[in-house]
Structure 1
Amino acid sequence: MPAPLADKIRPETIDDVVGQQRLLGKGKVLRRIIETREIPNLIFYGPSGVGKTTVARIIAQAAGKRLHKLNGTNASVSDIKDIVSELDTIAGAGGVLLYLDEIQYLNKKQQQSLLEYIENGRITLIASTTENPYFYIYSAILSRCTVMEFKPVQASDVQQAVHRAFGIIGKERNEDYTLEKGVPEAIAGTCGGDVRKAINAVELLALAAPLQDGKRIVTLSDVSEITGKSAMRYDRDGDAHYDILSAFQKSIRGSDENAALHYLARLLEAGDLISPCRRLLVTACEDIGLAYPQAITIVKACVDSANQLGLPEARIPLAQAVILLCTAPKSNSVICAIDAATEAIKTTDVGDIPLHLKDTHYSGAGKLGRGLTYKYPHIYKNDYTAQQYLPDNIKDARYYTFGENKTEQAAKTYREKLLSEDKGELK
């Protein structure tokens, strides 16, 4: 069975790797480390198809150590023990370099079995993962490794790989490929920064290319059929999911409706209707809050409409909600207030509820002194009279601060009016 094109064109040197110049460019940290040939324990973190395995292989070739490869999806403790057993043999005299792909799939026991040998330097670990290592990798392993984050490859860099792939496949098959204008850009633009995906598309396009006048023709329509919609980075249980939601809410908070609509579109294109609905509801209270109290009501109506309509029509009321929140005045006074109150409960001896506020709906409450001095506000002028509501230990605590927006300032003015006019007078 012939090897996939992606394996055939895998770079052999750092200079051949596309993208990751922030790590591999001239004078950059990872490149300098590789050039020393004294390799520390490393964890490569990033999405698939961005060069993690390729760079690990290049490092292994330069390290001068015996190379072992394991994949976390099927590796066992016995596989690790087999590698450890080699350390006391001639083959392992110079140390072993272990390349461990998808390390996040190893359980804690499996990861712990490596600790002693990583620490004493007899095993040099280069691990790769598509998941956030700070969530999925045992902390003792993390403390002995340096995490290098690989980013999705820019489309301009992917185009280099696309041209190279067509050149190699043409040479291998002794055929000429003519690319319609815009083909490399289209392939690079729909792979989501995944070079492997782009190369796989090239391989399929080469197989499907019709022969005209002795040349294979690759058209934009063929690219569209094979690649489909853009391969956005999205995983409902992974980093991409939370990164998009984070960017979505922060764009609304920052009053940038164009960015917020972009992230909404990414969520909806991935078929995720629930997440943006939930985030819009919380954003209406967390970031707009009392600056525009009606926002939550309107957003709830938009969310209910979206859930009744379903996709694709759901995008319309959700877009309305996004634009409303982005263009609305902002206030975080609500979340600040509840967070302050929660923190006080956790760190302060708040004491007992005042007697006059305790429940009186049972016989004998009066004998316990409960509710005897409670003042019913509605019988007083302006439906207000001063009395203590907080427990004695924190009676002067203040959690809420009026925001600077028009609505909260109006509420502040009204509160000050109540306080200034309160004489304890009955209606």
Structure 2
Amino acid sequence: MENLPPLPERLRPEKLSQMVGQSHLIGEGGPIKGMVQTGNIFSMLLWGPPGTGKTTLARLIAVETDADFYRLNAISSGVKEIRDLIKTAGENRFFNKKFILFIDEIHRFNKAQQDALLEAVEKGEIILIGATTENPSFSINPPLLSRMRVYQLYPLSENDLDKLIDRAITEDVVLKNKNIKYIDRKTLIRFSGGDARVLLNALESAVNIKPSKEIVIDKSLIETVFQKTHLIYDRRGDLHYDLISAFIKSIRGSDPDAAVYYLARMLEGGEDPVFIARRLVILASEDIGNAEPYALTLATSCLTAVQNIGMPEAKIILSQVATYLAGCPKSNAAYIAIKEAVQDVRKYADLPVPLHLRNPSTKLAVDLGYGQGYKYSHDYPDHFVQQQYLPDKLKNRVYYKPSEEGREKKIKERLKNLWKGIKKYI
């Protein structure tokens, strides 16, 4: 038995009913189960994190529909291999045989490789099943994506992984003959992160680390196998964007606990701390602004500190700043102000600057009236005097509408008093 394949391969289901998880696709009423039952299979993309059953599901679709199954790996295959397989598919059609081409990591195919599939998929010469861990909207060419159905696979639930453990110790040719007295299932499942392959490999490793008549797979042994919790994270993948989005939204929503949780997940998953620090600088202006101007100073200092200090100490700095920003009063008034100003700039191109604001740098400029009538603010009480600054078409426009939060409340009151009767600060 020394040459047996690893446990995940040995335990691959032989029919759809044996597959664990993804009930929304293969359970009663699920779209893929319906396809298999009718035999009417369409080209599709299986999108989900590692260890969720994408390859297994593709194989089972072929088995259940009596189709020929060919597999390519996007890393090692090129246009020539694609064309050769399409030719084979044409020969299969002569014998009225379905031809399923499964491409693992299809997001790694370049445009030319993806385009080579278009005609065959369009004409139905092949049934293309692609597997990807990345959002297809970003990684698959639109023409190919429009010809395929996208099905999302999710990390396996605790109940799903528990069923896998049962299958492994009762059905596997090796493990069913081992005297496994105890498994700390809760720890094993938690460390696996919803990845069936990780769970089964860890279970097999735990059995092999301390071979004995009675096998006890306790928390200590599981920690030895994993060294650290298995985290599903890809710095270029979809979860990268989901976690940074949740992190920013938690700070915007004034929840420091959620913010520091998502921060920990990103850092433990290997995210670049400088990337996180940069996002904090943006947030300090976009979501806090003048409600607490010091937030931008602190966030900028955080970026400098993280760049100079590095990990692991950078996580302390990021935690301090993230929790502070989460606790700050919030205002997006400055963000809205520039957004609305840009809209007017694009709508009203090249509006003339009022003459009294123009620079009278030459005699001609003076003769044309540049700078005439300008009132120097510091010559007046409180260093302010009402005069028009915007172009005539926009003269009373208000872009910046201060909130009632934090220091911005004082700014609002001052502007209301200064521009009373001219501008409306709601």
Q: TM-score, normalised by structure 2?
A: 0.90
Matched residue count: 418
| Alignment correspondent of 1:147 | 150
| Alignment correspondent of 1:241 | 240
Alpha-carbon distance between aligned partners in 2 of 1:8 and 1:169, rounded to the nearest angstrom: 7
Q: In the TM superposition, what whole-angstrom CA distance separates every residue of 1:35-63 from its partner, at most 9, and x where no partner exists?
A: 22211111011111111111111111122
Contact (CA 8 Å) 1:280, 1:322: kept in 2 or not?
Answer: yes
Alpha-carbon distance between aligned partners in 2 of 1:323 and 1:4, rounded to the nearest angstrom: 45
Contact (CA 8 Å) 1:60, 1:67: kept in 2 or not?
Answer: yes
Deviation at residue 344 of structure 1 after TM alignment:
2.4
Deviation at residue 307 of structure 1 after TM alignment:
4.6
For residues 18-57 of structure 1, the aligned pairs below 5 Å read: 18-57=20-59
| Alignment correspondent of 1:219 | 218
What is the DSSP-based 3-state SS (H/G/I as helix, E as strand, rest coil) of the residue aligned with 2:407? helix
**Greater displacement, 264-273 / 2-11:** 264-273
Distance 1:187 1:172, change over 3 A: closer
Unpaired segments ≥5 residues, structure 2: none
Alpha-carbon distance between aligned partners in 2 of 1:288 and 1:395, rounded to the nearest angstrom: 28
Contact (CA 8 Å) 1:166, 1:202: kept in 2 or not?
Answer: no
Alpha-carbon distance between aligned partners in 2 of 1:229 and 1:92, rounded to the nearest angstrom: 53
Contact (CA 8 Å) 1:286, 1:334: kept in 2 or not?
Answer: yes
Alpha-carbon distance between aligned partners in 2 of 1:242 and 1:134, rounded to the nearest angstrom: 13
- 2:88 pairs with one of 75, 80, 86: 86
| Alignment correspondent of 2:186 | 185
**Greater displacement, 278-287 / 192-201:** 278-287
Contact (CA 8 Å) 2:47, 2:136: kept in 1 or not?
Answer: yes
Alpha-carbon distance between aligned partners in 2 of 1:193 and 1:6, rounded to the nearest angstrom: 14
Alpha-carbon distance between aligned partners in 2 of 1:258 and 1:156, rounded to the nearest angstrom: 28
Deviation at residue 7 of structure 1 after TM alignment:
0.7
For residues 103-114 of structure 1, the aligned pairs below 5 Å read: 103-114=106-117
Alpha-carbon distance between aligned partners in 1 of 2:236 and 2:143, rounded to the nearest angstrom: 24
**What percent identity do the matched residue pairs reach?**
37
| Alignment correspondent of 1:202 | 203
Unpaired segments ≥5 residues, structure 1: 423-427
Alpha-carbon distance between aligned partners in 2 of 1:69 and 1:170, rounded to the nearest angstrom: 26
Deviation at residue 135 of structure 1 after TM alignment:
0.7
What is the DSSP-based 3-state SS (H/G/I as helix, E as strand, rest coil) of the residue aligned with 2:288? helix
Q: In the TM superposition, what whole-angstrom CA distance separates every residue of 1:365-405 from its partner, at most 9, and x where no partner exists?
A: 42443223322111122222222222334334332222232
Contact (CA 8 Å) 2:292, 2:408: kept in 1 or not?
Answer: no
Alpha-carbon distance between aligned partners in 2 of 1:358 and 1:228, rounded to the nearest angstrom: 68
**Greater displacement, 319-328 / 97-106:** 319-328
Contact (CA 8 Å) 2:161, 2:194: kept in 1 or not?
Answer: yes
**Given residue 67 of structure 1, which amino acid in structure 2 is its aligned partner?**
F
Root-mean-square deviation (Å): 2.4
| Alignment correspondent of 1:261 | 260
Q: TM-score, normalised by structure 1?
A: 0.90
| Alignment correspondent of 1:315 | 315
**Greater displacement, 232-241 / 366-375:** 366-375
Contact (CA 8 Å) 1:287, 1:332: kept in 2 or not?
Answer: yes
| Alignment correspondent of 2:18 | 16
| Alignment correspondent of 2:230 | 231
Q: In the TM superposition, what whole-angstrom CA distance separates every residue of 1:138-167 from its partner, at most 9, and x where no partner exists?
A: 101111111111111123322221332233
Alpha-carbon distance between aligned partners in 1 of 2:129 and 2:311, rounded to the nearest angstrom: 43
